Amino acid sequence: MAMPPPSDKGDEIIRHANERIQTVSFYILLDLAKYFETNIPNLSDVILGKATASTLSGPALTLWNTLSNTFYSTTSLASALKKAYDAQAVLESVKSPYTSTSTDWPSFRFQFYTADKGGVQYLTPALDRGTFETQVVQALPAVSPNPPLPPRSAAQAYSNPEDRYGSPYGVCWSVRIVEISLPHLSVNQRRHSS
């Protein structure tokens, strides 16, 4: 049976572990905030303070309620997402490792879990990964099962036995490419001659 590390060494191990947890948490928060900005912009607007929660409904509102009612210490997950988003320039340029006394890292703290001598402390209330993932997926905008068709192209080649362009083969070729864009049926034509 292994002996536990001496108390001072144990404290150092826990401090180091929590610093690594905080480092990873900063980047999880930033990536999640940017994911919401790209994929659920109405939720992102509420997180970033550009809109109020009253603009949300259905699954986006459910997700917002989870984000705003899940805490690390006294900081909500929604607030931590905004702080990480606002600190994006710092997080993307910092070169030194994070420590609890760092001044070149963001000043806010938000860890998804914290190690201590009594075990692991999680967010309050506990945030089940499966439930959270389901809420995110349900809040994503619906994707059309019938996406718009890409522009279609058709090419027509014409030959002209009259050698107006000095073709060494005695035949002038003209290619007309027509792009048809549905549903408006606009037609763009380009002519290429050789």
Could you tell me where the DSSP H helices lie in 51-192? Answer: 58-68, 77-86, 88-91, 129-139
Q: Which residues neighbour 170 within 8 Å (Cβ) at sequence distance 6 or greater?
A: 161, 163
Alpha carbon distance 45, 51 (integer Å): 5
Query: Which structure tokens are listed for 81?
Result: 């997402």
pTM of the model: 0.70
> With contact defined as beta carbons under 8 Å apart, do 116 and 35 qualify?
no
The length of the chain is 194
Show pLDDT as tens, one digit a residue, over the chain (194 residues): 555 555 678 889 999 999 999 999 999 999 999 999 999 999 999 999 999 999 999 999 999 999 999 999 999 999 999 999 999 999 999 999 999 999 999 999 999 989 888 888 899 999 999 999 999 999 999 876 676 666 655 554 455 555 555 555 554 444 454 444 444 444 444 444 44
> With contact defined as beta carbons under 8 Å apart, do 102 and 96 qualify?
yes
Chain position carrying tokens 């899940």: 70
Beta bridge partners of 120: 115
Domain-wise residue ranges, the chain: 7-139, 152-193
